[in-house]
Amino acid sequence: MSIWRYANPAEFMRITRPAVGPLWIASAVLIALALGWGLFLTPEAEYFGSTVKIIFVHVPSAMLAINTYLLMVVASAIGFVRRHHVSFLIAKAAAPIGACFTLIAIITGAVWGQPMWGAWWVWDARLTAILVMFFFYLGYIALWAAIEEPEKAADLTAVLCFVGVIFALLSRYAVVEVFGVKVVDFQTQHQGASLSVNPGQRVADVYRTPLYLSILAFYVLFFALLISRTRMEIRTRRARAISLARA
Amino acid sequence: MFTDQYTIYVISAYAATVVILAGLIWATITSNRKARHDLEVLEQERKR
């Protein structure tokens, strides 16, 4: 059976209905456990002190900020090529979620940067790219709201989404090393990946399990939000179609 | 648990996260409820 049947709004609503409640409950439990563990049960680091606890909210938020944008690009591309409304609505539903996670990443990064770097903000490649990506999120949301015709809004917002993808990639891949050679090297003060495969770069073992739990919790919350918001968008679109048919 | 001078930064980061996520969850639940209600009203009117 083709996967494209899930692009049917009625089918999407039928399949996702049983998942909504359990996802909300799981996300509430996991977020409480992850933030409680990260805040109260992890030790202070030798150099970073208690600021190391900020990674349990900053890292998952930054991951979701970037990955949500990439999901929007993929959903928009599918919608653009195959004209599936649900794809466009998934992208539309994801935008406010991605914007909120980007805002959390920016704020928690700034709060960490002040005591560690001596500055709330520095204009380096990764930080600037994520700030521009945040403005793309806002522009995307505003464009959907500004255009009344859904087909036209879907196409134009998809184009805007494609343009902004470079900043999503740059915020993650400002520095790329292949076999010890830097193939992409923008100036950045930002740390390397907290979950790097290189033991010299990644976080200490004592922080890794709560960090994985925190990432899991944020992703479960993301899917609860995404499914709920997509269902809302489908209902709103259906209500609009009924209203127009009556008029 | 917290023995250094950075406590205020850590608490601020967690508080900002919780406030933003709570706002997003609240907005999602209320707008979903409104969309469901509006659609039910329209479908009932259409059936009549």
DSSP collapsed to 3 states, chain A = CCHHHHHCHHHHHHHHHHHHHHHHHHHHHHHHHHHHHHHHHCCCECCCEHHHHHHHHHHHHHHHHHHHHHHHHHHHHHHHHHCCHHHHHHHHHHHHHHHHHHHHHHHHHHHHHHHHHCCCCCCCHHHHHHHHHHHHHHHHHHHHHHCCCHHHHHHHHHHHHHHHHHHHHHHHCCEEEECCEEEEECCCCCCCCCCCCCCCCCCCHHHHHHHHHHHHHHHHHHHHHHHHHHHHHHHHHHHHHHHHHHC
CA distance A57 to chain B (A): 7
At A183 the pLDDT is 62
Q: How confident is the model at residue A201 (pLDDT cuts 50, 70, 90)?
A: low
Cβ contact, residue pair B6, A231, below 8 Å: no
Q: pLDDT > 90: what percent of chain A?
A: 61
Q: Is B24 an 8 Å CB contact of chain A? A: yes
Q: Is B17 an 8 Å CB contact of chain A? A: yes
Interface residue of A231, A242, A244, A246 to substitute, partner B, most B CBs within 10 Å: A242
Residues belonging to chain A with any Cβ–Cβ distance to chain B shorter than 8 Å: 31, 35, 39-40, 44, 49-51, 53-54, 57-58, 61, 96-97, 100, 103-104, 107-108, 111-112, 114-115, 221, 225, 228-229, 231-232, 235-236, 238-239, 242-243, 246
At A200 the pLDDT is 60
Full-model pTM: 0.90
At A234 the pLDDT is 95
pLDDT at A197 exceeding the cut of 60: no
- A to B CB pairs, distance under 8 Å: 95
At A195 the pLDDT is 62
Q: How confident is the model at residue A45 (pLDDT cuts 50, 70, 90)?
A: confident
With 0-12 / 13-18 / 19 or more C-beta atoms within 10 angstroms meaning exposed / middle / buried, residue A81 is: exposed
Residue-wise burial string across A55-71, b where 16 or more C-beta atoms lie within 10 A, e elsewhere: bbbbbbbbbbbbbbbeb
At A54 the pLDDT is 94
Q: What is the mean pLDDT of residues A44-73?
A: 91
Give the residues across from A182 on adjacent strands.
Answer: A177
Q: How confident is the model at residue A167 (pLDDT cuts 50, 70, 90)?
A: confident
Q: How confident is the prediction for chain A on average, in pLDDT?
A: 88
Give the pLDDT confidence of B4-41 residue by residue, as tens digits: 888 999 999 999 999 999 999 999 999 999 999 999 99
**Which ipTM value was assigned to this complex?**
0.92
Radius of gyration for chain B, computed over Cα atoms and rounded to the nearest angstrom: 21
Give the pLDDT confidence of A105-141 residue by residue, as tens digits: 999 999 999 998 889 998 988 899 999 999 999 999 9
pLDDT at B48 exceeding the cut of 80: no
pLDDT at A191 exceeding the cut of 80: no
